[in-house]
A and B are shown apart, each in its own frame.
Chain A
Amino acid sequence: MSAAPRFAAGARVTVRRADPPGHIRTPWYIRGKTGEIERLCGAFPNPEELAYNRPGTPPQPLYRVRFRQRELWPDYRGAPGDTIDIEIYQHWLEPA
Chain B
Amino acid sequence: MSDLHHDHDDGAHSHHHPTRPDTDAPLTHYQVMEIALRELLIEKGIFSADDVRRAVEAMDARTPALGARVVARAWTDPAYKARLLANGSDAVRELGIDVGATRLIVVENTQHQHNLVVCTLCSCYPRTVLGLPPDWYKSRAYRSRAVREPRAVLAEFGTVLDPAIDVRVHDSTADMRYLVLPERPRGTEGWSEERLAALVTRDSMIGVTRPSLQ
A residues with a Cβ closer than 8 A to B are 25-27, 29, 41-42, 44, 47, 62, 64, 69, 73, 76-79, 81-89
CA distance A69 to B171 in the complex (A): 13
Among B122-169, those with CB < 8 Å from A are: 147-152, 163-169
B167 touching A82, Cβ below 8 Å: yes
Q: How far is the CB of B192 from chain A (nearest CB, A)?
A: 34
Q: Which of B15-23, B40-48, B172-180, B202-210 contacts the other chain?
A: B172-180
Residue B83 interfacial (CB < 8 Å): no
* Shortest Cβ distance from residue B107 to the other chain A in the assembled complex, whole angstroms: 9
Q: Does B103 contact A (CB under 8 A)?
A: yes
Cα–Cα, bound, A73→B151 (Å): 14
A18, chain B: closest CB distance, angstroms: 16
With known contacts A41-B175, A87-B174, A78–B150 Cβ distance under 8 A: yes
Q: Is the CB of B173 within 8 A of A41?
A: no
Q: Which residues of B contact A84 (CB under 8 A)?
A: 147, 168-171
- Contact present for B167 and A27 (CB under 8 Å): no
Residue pair B150, A87 in contact (C-beta under 8 Å): no
- Would you list the 10 A-B pairs with minimal beta carbon distance, nearest first? A87-B174, A81-B166, A84-B169, A86-B171, A82-B167, A87-B173, A44-B175, A85-B170, A78-B151, A27-B120
Alpha-carbon gap, A79 to B114, bound state (A): 12
CA of A6 to CA of B18 in the docked complex: distance in angstroms? 59
Interface residues of B in 96-118 (CB under 8 A from A): 103, 105
